[in-house]
Structure 1
């Protein structure tokens, strides 16, 4: 693997950035450009810890690399503060789409919590409409440049508040206006999905897709609740599911593992794991296995047949891109292009699209990799 002067990575002579990618776990308030944060903060009269883009990017990276999800989440106080107007939300969403396209993403899902963007007087519906307008601006811009990208909204409720049913109803109201799924996010430990059972019950009656943050800062009970109470089709991170696997022996590339009931269910039902390698290191999600990327149970889960996908989580906080995450994994676990394609096919299969749309996406990925 070779890193070039433009920040791209080459594997077997192929640019990783040029490969078609699917992004399933990408937070809008974790993807702002530092320069945009500065400009929007200046317009709103908000003080920042740094006033030039490079220094602000370094500040976010330093504060995010704490080993604690709670501390990691505090950096979002700044990004959400500059996303309180329709104009700000529209701009951030447009730039989000443009940045995904520059990263080689052909289909993405952006998750964000409308309830955190009402301080400027917007209603929940107006906030969703502003983000959708920005998404469409970005899609049109990429189309005009000869590219193609599609992005859907994952409307998210904060798990430590009591608005999840209201947000679920909001998501369903906008299912024909860009909303493709529902999520809960925020501090995981102490706020299980079961607290939001009414919202999940409602979504089930509406046949509306659900992904749930689980198995990041909390363990197997959180994952179990996401599946039982949340009827989750995907697990946001889900990395701690690996603690339900008992590695009996290793011999070279051969690993003998005993599955727990939960991990076997997730594997056999092909429930998508939205893994985010760099973020998982920053938040301490893999502390049970080690402190380096090579310690991440990603490869174990992959080799055992779990539906693993690669995601950025928060581009700003982790200083990353999907291209970089794939390259880091390739270096850590000696993956080749066939492996990288497998991750994209898993993501396409887990996307909140119709069967026909997923099949088209799978064909697009196969053509782009052309292995």
Structure 2
């Protein structure tokens, strides 16, 4: 702990109010958090590869990285003091050349699901942009089929269910984005469950993609959209909901919406996919007092916890839970259970599967509390 003023302390790279130290004894122990079953709704494939996987992908692709492990991680991980979202996104350029074949995409999907299993994740949705993986001749459909094959293999080896989301990048031309629509016509696999839009939110507002999203939702595809991740971007949250999104990626600027707009989100059970480490790195917020996770939770908004990018943010879901527990010592086991039930409600799966997960989580959290 480093003292920085009479009223604040610096812990884990974040400034805390001084009086938060009085509550430290209530922080949940890491071994308790490790026992918690978890749901993760917001995880990017290309930003979540393990170091060993990156090296294997390079070997498969016959790319000699000629780097130490430390040098690889320096390229793949964003610095803690990332200047903005665009600098954070630049880290993806390093791994994309390694993800251009069916074999490597399948292996990458398996690797990310494996890591989730280590976090005691029982259900995960992994999103990726298939248009980024076509440099060696794969079609959009083949890229998707490779990812779902890797997820299906992971389900056989680990105690979890893993599904995929197709992601469009906002900075790509609309003509290119519209080609993603056909993926949902051609790939008929139970592991392909939804659609997302990610990328440069400030320069490409959500409303620009209204027609594209209409084509997606008319096919019965469930939608989550990145929105409200940058200052003054709360309009994108409301537009996303109007265009059919039942979940919002990050949604930090929900804190700036009116009471009536927040109550609308509660009524519609809109789920926020928040990721604390990433949210600070991308400068969605710069200090803990600005971070609205607990504020929104207390209002009844359906917040959830996610990694976003395990590798780029050098995190795990275990670490994200530990941060929330440290930041908000009053956040109890029951509160963590509740946000997981929110995540189950928001998952892009059928009602029977949701009910089974709800029952399983209730029983397992009860065992932990006993």
The two structures have a TM-score, normalised by structure 2, of 0.86
Q: Which residue of 1 aligns with 2:36?
A: 19
Work out whether residues 58 and 98 of structure 2, in 8 Å CA contact, stay in contact via their aligned partners in 1. yes
Q: In the TM superposition, what whole-angstrom CA distance separates every residue of 1:155-190 from its partner, at most 9, and x where no partner exists?
A: 111111123332133134335342100001111112
Work out whether residues 82 and 282 of structure 2, in 8 Å CA contact, stay in contact via their aligned partners in 1. yes
Aligned CA-pair RMSD: 2.0
Tell me which of 225, 236, 241 is aligned to 1:222. 236
Tell me which of 148, 165, 170 is aligned to 1:132. 148
Shift of 1:198: 2.0
Q: Which residue of 2 aligns with 1:31?
A: 48
* Cα distance in structure 2, aligned partners of 1:192 and 1:235: 14
* Cα distance in structure 1, aligned partners of 2:75 and 2:133: 23
* Cα distance in structure 2, aligned partners of 1:62 and 1:269: 35
Q: Which residue of 1 aligns with 2:317?
A: 322
Tell me which of 343, 356, 359 is aligned to 1:363. 359
Q: Which residue of 2 aligns with 1:249?
A: none
Work out whether residues 53 and 111 of structure 2, in 8 Å CA contact, stay in contact via their aligned partners in 1. no
The size of the alignment, in residue pairs, is 337
* Cα distance in structure 1, aligned partners of 2:315 and 2:74: 12
**After TM superposition, which residue ranges in structure 1, 4 or more long, deviate above 4 angstroms?**
45-48
**1:309 counterpart = 2:308:** no
For structure 1, the residue ranges without an aligned partner over 5 or more in a row are: 1-9, 143-147, 246-258
* Cα distance in structure 1, aligned partners of 2:52 and 2:29: 35
Q: In the TM superposition, what whole-angstrom CA distance separates every residue of 1:271-290 from its partner, at most 9, and x where no partner exists?
A: 00001111000000124xxx
Tell me which of 138, 157, 163 is aligned to 1:141. 157
Work out whether residues 64 and 317 of structure 1, in 8 Å CA contact, stay in contact via their aligned partners in 2. no
Q: SS of 1:84's equivalent?
A: coil
Q: SS of 1:11's equivalent?
A: coil
Q: Which residue of 2 aligns with 1:40?
A: 57
Shift of 1:367: 1.3
Tell me which of 100, 121, 127 is aligned to 1:84. 100
**1:185 counterpart = 2:198:** yes
Residue 314 to residue 62, structure 1, CA distance change in 2 (3 Å): closer
Q: Which residue of 1 aligns with 2:209?
A: 196
Q: Which residue of 2 aligns with 1:164?
A: 177
Tell me which of 117, 133, 143 is aligned to 1:117. 133
Q: Which residue of 1 aligns with 2:269?
A: 270
For structure 2, the residue ranges without an aligned partner over 5 or more in a row are: 1-26
